[in-house]
Structure 1
Amino acid sequence: MPAFRQVGEKQLPNPVLCMAWSPRRDLIALANTTGELLLHRLACFQRVWSLPPTETTGKEITALAWRPDGKILAFSLGDTKQVVLCGVEKAEILHVFPVENSVTCMHWMEVTDDCSALNSFFNSEDESNFFLSKLPSLPKSLKFLFLFYSEDKSDEIMNLLGEVRLNILVLGGDNGFVELYAYGMYKIATLTGVSGSCCSLSLSNDLKSLSIITEIMSAEDKPEICYVQMDTGLLSDCLPEVTRMARKFTHISTVLQYLHLSLTCMCEAWEDILMQMDLRLTKFVQEKNTSTQVQDEFLELLLWGQSRSPHLSILCVLSKGLKKLGQSIESSYSSIQKLVISHLQSGCEALLYHLSEVKGMSLWKQKFEPLGLDSTAIEGAITAVGSFSLKANELLQVIDKSMKNFKAFFRWLYVAMLRMCEEHVPPELNKMTQKDIAFVADFLSEHFSANEELFDRKGKYFNVERVGQYLKDEDEDLVSPPNINGNQWLKFLQESKHLKESPLLFPSYPQKSLHFVKRMMENVIEQCLQKPAEIIGKSVKQAAFLPLYTVPESSNTPRLFDMPSLWNDKKAKMHYVVFNMPHISPCKLYLLRKETDPNRSVPNNVISIALSRLFDRANDDAAQSHGYNCLDARFYDDEMLTVVLQGAEENNSKRILAQLPLTSALSCEAPFNWKTNLRLDQQSSSIPCQGLVLGNQLRELESMKAQFVAVNGIRKVACVLSTNLRHIRVFEMDVEDEEEEGADSQNATAGQDVLHNTMTSEGQGEESVEAGGDPVDNEENGLTKSNERLDSKEDLELT
C-alpha cells in the first residue's frame, strides 16, 4: 500500500532543466530547454502562467530561486549573463541586472537571528515614509516605455524590498564566481578565493558561513567535487548595520530605476513629430535653387504677409497638417514638463534623502567603517544628484521657452499659410500685435539660420527644436546650449572665488545633455555602492576545504540536477551535504555535517547510509540481493531525506520514491578520522555506516523511468522527473491512513477531489497568462476562473 498520494501527472513538450517549489505556496516553477519559465499549481499540475523568452533577456535559464516569502522568483540567463526578478502573481519582470559570469546555481535565504539589537532596528526602520511623499505612478498611456514595464509596475518596483528582515540572494557560477545581493537587488559582497565552478551553495540563516559545492580539476586532470566553507563572520557580527546599509542602498537602487523609467517615458513623449520641422526645413533648403536663406524668406513672409519664393509657397501648401503639428508639439512638451516636475524632481529628492542618511551612517565610524562606507564617496554621490537636479530644472526652462516660441510661431505661420492659399482666416487668429511680430522675428533670427557644421554632424541644417537634444543618449555636447549671458547669479558666482569653490554648490554642466548627466550620476552612485561589496567580500575567508570524490568519465547527469545537495538546518545551525559515489559504493548514500560557525567542529561529521537495508532486517547477504542505487536525493526537512532509488541488479530496473529518516543516522557515534591529505572516496571504507528501515514510507514509480526529484517539506509535496526530462509526477507526501484505504488506482482521483475541496476559489477552465504567455490549453488543466490573485487564496498561504 503506497504511502504517498499521486495528485498529478504530465507529459511536457520540452525537457525541463530546472524545477523549484515555492517555500510558501503550492506552486512549482519549471524552466525548459526553450528558455520558457512555467509556473504550475499542485492541483492536477495546472499551469498558472508561462513567461516566454525574449531576445533582450535571453533563452538559456540556468538556475532558479524563490524569495523566502514566495512572492518573487529569481532566475539566471546564461546566454546574456543576466539575473531576472519576476513577480509571481502577474508574471511581470520587476528587475534585471547583469553579472560578470554565467550563473550555475543560486540560493535565496532570510536571516532568522533574533538578536535584541536587530529587533530594535526592525521596530524603528523605516522613517522615510514620514518625510518623503510617495513617488508618482508612471504614465499608462505611453507605449514602448520599457522592455519590462507594465501599467501598475511603478508600485511593484518600489515594493521589491518586501519585509524589513534582511534576505540575501546568493549567486554562484564558473571560475569561482560568487556574489551576494541584499533583497535580490543590491550587491552586498563579491567573494574572492573560491576555486572551480560552483555546483550548489547555501548561506546559513545566522550569516556565519557560506557552504559551496565546487567542481575543480584534480591533479589527475579529472573533475573533482569539493566542499568549501567560507567564513562570513563580518556579516553576522554587523548584522544590524548590514541590514540598515543594505536597505538604504536598495532604496537608492529602486529610485535609480524609477528615474530611468521616467526618463524613458520622456523620450517616448518626445516623438519623431518634434523633428519634422527640422527635417522639412532641411528638405526645403536642399530642393530650392535660390540663393536666399530660409531665414530671409520667412522674415519676408513676416514683413510683407506674402513670399515671392515659390518654394516657400510649396512648403506651406504641403504643410496642411501644420495646425495639428503645432498641437502635437505643444502636447508633447506638456507631457515632458509634467514628467520632469512630478517624477524627476521627486526622484531626486528621494535620492538626496537616502544618500544623506547613508552619509550620516558613514560618519559613525565605529559601526559602519568596517563595512566600507566612505563619507567622501557618498558626498560625491550627493553632489552628482544635485547636478542632475539642476539639469532637470534647466530642461524645464528650455521647455517653457520652446512652448512659447512654437505656439507663437505656429500661430503666425498657420495664418500666413491660410492667406497665401486665399482661405478664410478665423477672426481670433487674425489679431497680432507689434510685440507678437517682434517675438516671432527674434525666434526666426535665433533658430532659422542654416548651419553647415550642423549638417555634417546631424544630417540636417537646422535645429529649431531644442528639447530633444537633452533627451538623446549621446556623449556629444548640446547643439544649442542655453544662453547664459546676462544671468546675474552666474556672473556673481564667477566673480566670487570662495563661492565658486564652495562644496555647498552643485556644479552645472551647461554643455551636456540630461542623459549625460544622468549617466554620470549613476556611475558615481554605483562606485559609492560597490566599495562596501568589495570590503565585505575581502573579509570572507575560506574556513574549510574538503575534497569529496572525482566524477567518473561516464557520468552524463545534467549539471542542474547533479548531487551533492546542500541543506541549511536552522534549528541545529548545521550545514548538511548529501551525495553518492556510485563508482565507489553504489549502494550507499553519504551525509556530511558542518557547523555553520566555522570555529566549531562536528564530531563524526561524515556517515554513510546503506541502501541495501531499507526494507527489512534480513541478514547482509539477503539484503545485498535487494540493494538499491540512489539516483537523486533532496532534503525534505531537518529529519527526512527524499530519494529516488533504482534496483542495483541488472534485472531490477524498478524505480522507487522513498523517505529516509535521518534521526538514527545522525545519532551515529562511530568515530571517523578524516585524513586531510586524501579525498573522501579514497578513505570511504572507514566511514561509519548506518542501516535504515523504511516501513511503508516508499512508493514504486510504475511506468516511469524516474531520475530526479524536487520537494517542499513545508507544503508536504514532491515532484518526480523522468530521465528524458519530460515526464512529471506530483505527490502529496503526508496523507492520513484512512485516506489511503482503497486501491492504488483510486489514489490520484481521491487526491484531486481533496484538492478540489481545499481550493474552491479556483473554479474550472483556463487561467489567463499574465506577462504575454500563451493561454493554458484545456488539456493542461480543468480549472476555469481566470486572473485570480495568488496571494488571495487562503489555501495557498502557509498556515
Structure 2
Amino acid sequence: MPSFRQVGEKQLPHEIIFMSWSPKRDLIALVNKAGEVLLHRLANIQRVWILPPNENTGKEVTCLAWRPDGKILAFGLADTKKIVLCDVEKPESLHSFSVETPVSCMQWMEVTEENSVLKSFYSSEDESSVLLPRLPPLPKNYNTTAKIFSEEKSDEIIKLLGDVRLNALVLGGVSGEIEIYAYGMYKIATITEVFGSCLGLCLSSDLKSLSVVTELTTNTNPEITYFQLDTSLLSEYLPEVTRMARKFTHISTLLQYLKLSLTCMCEAWEEILMQMDSRLTKFVQEKNTTTSVQDEFMQLLLWGKASPELQALLMNQLTVKGLKKLGQSVESSYSTIQKLVISHLQSGSEALLYHLSELKGMALWRQKYEPLGLDAKAIEDAVMSVGSFILKANELLQVIDSGMKNFKAFFRWLYVAMLRMSEDHVLPELNKMTQKDIAFVADFLTEHFNEAPELYNHKGKYFNVERVGQYLKDEDDTLMSPPSTEGNQWFNFLQNSTPLKESPLLFPYYPEKSLHFVKRHMEAVIDRCLAKPADVIGRSVQQKLSIPLYCASESEDSCPRLISLPSLWNDKSQNLHYVMFRMRESSDTKLFIFRQPTDVSRSVNKAFVAVEFGSPLNSSASENPGSVHYSCLDARFYEDDVLTLVLRDNNEPEGKDRILSLLPLSSIYSDEETDFEFIRDTVKRLEEQYADIPSRTVSLESQWRVLENIKAHYVSVNGIRKVASVLSSNLRHVRVFEMDVEDDGEADEEEEEEESYSQDVTEEDLDHSTEDAQNNGLEARDVREDSVEY
C-alpha cells in the first residue's frame, strides 16, 4: 500500500509553538516557548543550529516565515517590537527593524506574474555594480552589532537583497495594522483596512488582493472574520514597484553601511580620548599651582624647564615608555579614522548620491511613478542632505590632517623633553627642531590645552584634548571648536555673492554642527522621502469583502495560530485564495473550505464547502461506506490541488488513533455532483448558516497512514520537498515523514522510490541538496543534543 515513510522522531524539552518547512531545502524551523529559534535537518530531525533569546533582539517570538529562496528566516518579537532577518547558514541576525505594534502573523511571498518589462529588468545587469566601486568591508576588529558588512561576510548585501525578482514580507499586527516590506527590508505599504488582531494573511502572487483573517474581541466570544483587500495598484504598476523597491532597498542598505562606518570611527576615537583625557584631568585635579596646564607646557616649550607638578605628571604618570605607546596609539587611531572617512564614508555617500539621483529621474516620469507616491522634490532634498554629509566628512578630513601634524610634532617634542628630564641620551636627529616644528607645538598647545569645562557636565576641569572627537560625539550637535573660515577665499566669495549664496545648486553647509548631527539630518530627510510611497500605496488599498465566519470557542485551546486553524493558502495556478477553518460549536466533524478569486472583480462557483471524512476505502470498520468516521484536527495545503490532514477517529473515546492523510481537492470539488450554490446571508455570521453550506463526505483513499504512539494534532508540510511533520497535542513530540515512497520494508523497492523521487526534483533542489551535503560535515559537528531531547 502506498504510504508515508517515517524518517525522524524526537521528544523535545520545550513546547513547540511554531514550525515551518524551508521552501527549498530539507530544513525545518522550530520555535519553542523558551523563545529559542531552532533549525533542524530532515534526517532524524538533526539540529543544525539554535538561536537563543537575548536582550538585544527579544524573547517572545510571535511569528515565523521563510524567504521564498530559503536563505533567510524572518521572525517577529512582541517584547521588543522587532522583526529579525536571520541567516540560515549561521544563527545570527543579518538585519532587524522595529515596528510600531507587535506582529502576530507574517507571510513572505514571491511575485510570480511575468511581463516583458519585468523579464528584461530581471535579465539586465544592475548598472550600479558596474559604475560604482565595490564597498570596502568594515574592519572586523570593531564591535559593530550587525554582521552584514564584516570582512568575512563582504557579500552579505547581495544575500540580503536576494534574487532580483520581487518578494514581499507581509506583516499583520495585533491591532489590525498590515505592512508590506519589499525584499523584507523596505516598507512599500501601510494598510489600516481591517479590524481585530491578525491571525493569518496571504498576499496573492499576482499582487491583486490580500486575504486576512482576524480575531476581534467583543462582549461575547472573540469573532473570527475574513477580509479581502484590493491591492490592484501593486499589480498594475508591478514593474515600477519592483524598480522602486529595489532602488529603495539599496538606499536603506547604504544608510546602514554609513551608520556602521561611523560607529567604527567612534570606537577608534574613544580609545585615545580615554587615555589622554583621564591623565590630564588627574593632573589638573591634583596640582596646587594656579597656573594653567597650557602655561605649564608653554613654559617648558620656551625655556626647556618644567615645574615640579608637570615633571611629576610626565615622569610618574605618563612615563617615557607610556608616552611613546600613547603617541603610536593616537597616530594609529587617527590613521584608522582617516581611512574610514575616505574609503567608507565617501564611497558610501557617493553610492547613495548615485541611487538617489536615479530615483529622482524615475520620479520625474510622473505617469509611471507619481501614482506610487514618488516625490521629486522630496528626493531632491535627500540629494542635498547627502551633499551636506559629504561636505562635513571632507571637513573632518582636513581637521584630521591638521591634527596629525600637530600631534606628531607635540609627541616628538615632549618625548625629547622627557628624555632630558630622565637624563637619557637624546639622538641628534630627535634633538633638531625647526621653527615650523615649534609653531606646530605652540598651535597644538593653544588649540587643545585650553581649559574647557563646558565640554562636559562633570565636576572638575576637562580639556578639549583633540578636535576630531567633537565631530563624532553623538550627544553633542554643536562643535565646540569649529574650524576657522577666516581668509578662506571660497567662503568670502560666497558671502559677497547673494545669487550664489542662495543658489539651490550648492549643498547646504553647517559649519557649527557635528558629523553626527548632519548624519541624523540626512537620515531624517531620506526617511521622509522613502516613507511617502508606503502611505500612498497603503491608502489605495480598499476593503472589498468582509465575512464574519464564527465565534471562537472559549473551550478551544489557546494555541499559536501558525500551527492551528484557520489557515490561508494562495493557489498560484488558479489565482484563488483558500481559507480552511472549523466551527466547533456548530459542527465538530466538518472542515469548512472557503475559496475566493484573487481578482476581486471575479466570482467562483462552490465558494463554500463543508467536508466530512468517512472510513478509509480498505477499512474493516463496520460502518457503512461513506459514513462520517473522522473529524479533522489540522489541515494544510500540501500542493495547490492536495490537502494534508490530521484526522481523529471519532469512535475512540480517548481519540488515540490519529491518521495522516493526503486528500486531492478533486474529490471535494467534483464536477460529477451538482451541488446547489450556497447563498450567504450578509447580515448573519457564517456559523449561523452552516447547515445550508453544501456538504461533501469523502473517503480516504490509498494515501494515508495510522500514526501510532503519538497523539498527533498539528501538521506542517512542504509539497516541493515532499515532506511533512506532525506535532503532538502536548507540543513536545515531533515526527517527520517523506510523503511519496513505498514503505514496505524492502530495501530494493525503497531505492527505486528514491530514484523516482530524485527525478522529480528540480535543478535548483539538486543544487541545494549538494550544498546541504557539503555543509553537513560542519553542521553535524555543531549538533549538541541533550539527552532529554530523545
Q: TM-score range by the shorter chain?
A: over 0.9
Structure 1 residues 133 and 455: alpha-carbon distance in aligned structure 2, compared to 1, 3 A threshold: closer
- Please list the CA deviations of residues 692-748 of structure 1 after superposition, one character each: whole Å capped at 9, or x if unmatched: 22222111111111111100001000011111211100000111x3x53559xx999
Counterpart position of 2:22? 22
Amino acid at match of 2:650: A
1:156 aligns with 2:162: no
More off after superposition, 448-457 vs 472-481: 448-457
Structure 1 residues 455 and 224: alpha-carbon distance in aligned structure 2, compared to 1, 3 A threshold: closer
- Alignment partner of 2:160: what SS? coil
Give, in whole Å, the separation in 1 of the partners of 2:785 and 2:654: 40
Counterpart position of 2:761? none
Structure 1 residues 83 and 284: alpha-carbon distance in aligned structure 2, compared to 1, 3 A threshold: same
Give, in whole Å, the separation in 2 of the partners of 1:287 and 1:459: 11
- Alignment partner of 2:466: what SS? coil
Shift of 1:766: 7.0
Amino acid at match of 2:269: W
More off after superposition, 674-683 vs 310-319: 310-319
Give, in whole Å, the separation in 2 of the partners of 1:183 and 1:662: 32
Structure 1 residues 363 and 764: alpha-carbon distance in aligned structure 2, compared to 1, 3 A threshold: closer
Shift of 1:348: 0.5
Give, in whole Å, the separation in 1 of the partners of 2:599 and 2:455: 67
Give, in whole Å, the separation in 2 of the partners of 1:217 and 1:681: 17
Structure 1 residues 454 and 84: alpha-carbon distance in aligned structure 2, compared to 1, 3 A threshold: closer
Counterpart position of 2:629? 627
More off after superposition, 623-632 vs 1-10: 623-632
1:49 aligns with 2:52: no
The aligned runs of 1:443-592 (5 Å cut-off) are 443-454=444-455, 456=457, 460-560=461-561, 561-592=563-594
- Alignment partner of 1:4: what SS? strand
Amino acid at match of 1:603: N
Give, in whole Å, the separation in 1 of the partners of 2:197 and 2:622: 39
Give the conservation status (yes or no) of the 8 Å contact 2:189–2:533.
Answer: yes
Give the conservation status (yes or no) of the 8 Å contact 1:626–1:647.
Answer: no
Give, in whole Å, the separation in 1 of the partners of 2:126 and 2:82: 30
1:664 aligns with 2:664: no
Amino acid at match of 1:6: Q
Counterpart position of 1:791? none
Counterpart position of 1:604? 606
Counterpart position of 1:272? 271
Amino acid at match of 1:276: Q
1:653 aligns with 2:669: no
Give, in whole Å, the separation in 2 of the partners of 1:50 and 1:521: 38
- TM-score normalised by structure 1 residue count: 0.92
Structure 1 residues 127 and 43: alpha-carbon distance in aligned structure 2, compared to 1, 3 A threshold: same
Counterpart position of 2:390? 389
More off after superposition, 441-450 vs 530-539: 441-450
The aligned runs of 1:753-772 (5 Å cut-off) are 762=773, 767-768=778-779
Structure 1 residues 459 and 251: alpha-carbon distance in aligned structure 2, compared to 1, 3 A threshold: farther
Amino acid at match of 2:370: E
Shift of 1:456: 4.6
- TM-score normalised by structure 2 residue count: 0.93
Give the conservation status (yes or no) of the 8 Å contact 1:721–1:728.
Answer: yes
Give, in whole Å, the separation in 2 of the partners of 1:255 and 1:459: 41
1:680 aligns with 2:686: yes
Shift of 1:291: 1.3
More off after superposition, 505-514 vs 124-133: 124-133
- Please list the CA deviations of residues 104-147 of structure 1 after superposition, one character each: whole Å capped at 9, or x if unmatched: 1111111111122222332345221221111111112x231225
- Alignment partner of 1:303: what SS? helix
Counterpart position of 2:300? 301
Shift of 1:80: 0.5
Shift of 1:484: 1.7
Structure 1 residues 276 and 731: alpha-carbon distance in aligned structure 2, compared to 1, 3 A threshold: same
Give the conservation status (yes or no) of the 8 Å contact 2:46–2:783.
Answer: no
Structure 1 residues 95 and 314: alpha-carbon distance in aligned structure 2, compared to 1, 3 A threshold: closer
Give, in whole Å, the separation in 2 of the partners of 1:19 and 1:108: 15
Shift of 1:588: 1.1
Give, in whole Å, the separation in 1 of the partners of 2:220 and 2:583: 18
The aligned runs of 1:215-230 (5 Å cut-off) are 215-218=215-218, 221-230=220-229
Counterpart position of 2:763? none
Counterpart position of 1:710? 716
Amino acid at match of 1:392: A
Give the conservation status (yes or no) of the 8 Å contact 2:109–2:168.
Answer: yes
- Alignment partner of 1:215: what SS? strand
The aligned runs of 1:715-734 (5 Å cut-off) are 715-734=721-740
- Alignment partner of 1:379: what SS? helix
- Alignment partner of 1:54: what SS? coil
Counterpart position of 1:794? none
Give the conservation status (yes or no) of the 8 Å contact 2:477–2:516.
Answer: no
Structure 1 residues 113 and 322: alpha-carbon distance in aligned structure 2, compared to 1, 3 A threshold: same
Counterpart position of 2:39? 39
- Alignment partner of 2:720: what SS? coil
Unaligned runs of 5+ in 2: 759-765
Give, in whole Å, the separation in 2 of the partners of 1:548 and 1:616: 36
Give, in whole Å, the separation in 2 of the partners of 1:456 and 1:556: 56
- Please list the CA deviations of residues 147-175 of structure 1 after superposition, one character each: whole Å capped at 9, or x if unmatched: 54654234202442211111111000111
Counterpart position of 2:78? 78
Give the conservation status (yes or no) of the 8 Å contact 2:204–2:575.
Answer: yes
Structure 1 residues 247 and 415: alpha-carbon distance in aligned structure 2, compared to 1, 3 A threshold: same
The aligned runs of 1:364-375 (5 Å cut-off) are 364-375=365-376
Structure 1 residues 567 and 765: alpha-carbon distance in aligned structure 2, compared to 1, 3 A threshold: closer
- Please list the CA deviations of residues 634-672 of structure 1 after superposition, one character each: whole Å capped at 9, or x if unmatched: 110111111111122325431111112211212354111
The aligned runs of 1:220-259 (5 Å cut-off) are 221-259=220-258
Counterpart position of 1:106? 106
Amino acid at match of 1:211: S
Give, in whole Å, the separation in 1 of the partners of 2:772 and 2:626: 51
- Alignment partner of 1:143: what SS? coil
Give, in whole Å, the separation in 2 of the partners of 1:109 and 1:764: 27
Counterpart position of 2:744? 740
Counterpart position of 1:793? none
Give, in whole Å, the separation in 1 of the partners of 2:428 and 2:162: 61
Amino acid at match of 1:646: R
Structure 1 residues 598 and 620: alpha-carbon distance in aligned structure 2, compared to 1, 3 A threshold: farther
Shift of 1:100: 0.8
Counterpart position of 2:145? 146
Counterpart position of 1:360? 361
Structure 1 residues 506 and 694: alpha-carbon distance in aligned structure 2, compared to 1, 3 A threshold: same
Amino acid at match of 1:629: S
- Please list the CA deviations of residues 204-227 of structure 1 after superposition, one character each: whole Å capped at 9, or x if unmatched: 010000011111135x52211111
Counterpart position of 1:796? none
Structure 1 residues 537 and 456: alpha-carbon distance in aligned structure 2, compared to 1, 3 A threshold: closer
Give the conservation status (yes or no) of the 8 Å contact 1:590–1:608.
Answer: yes
More off after superposition, 146-155 vs 82-91: 146-155
Give the conservation status (yes or no) of the 8 Å contact 1:113–1:205.
Answer: yes
- Alignment partner of 1:411: what SS? helix
Q: Identical aligned pairs, as a percentage?
A: 61
Counterpart position of 2:703? 697
- Alignment partner of 2:175: what SS? helix
Give the conservation status (yes or no) of the 8 Å contact 1:137–1:154.
Answer: yes
Structure 1 residues 498 and 707: alpha-carbon distance in aligned structure 2, compared to 1, 3 A threshold: same
Amino acid at match of 2:784: V
Give, in whole Å, the separation in 1 of the partners of 2:456 and 2:91: 47
Give, in whole Å, the separation in 2 of the partners of 1:458 and 1:241: 58
Unaligned runs of 5+ in 1: 783-799
- Alignment partner of 2:58: what SS? coil
Give, in whole Å, the separation in 2 of the partners of 1:385 and 1:123: 31
Give the conservation status (yes or no) of the 8 Å contact 2:283–2:313.
Answer: no
Amino acid at match of 1:314: L
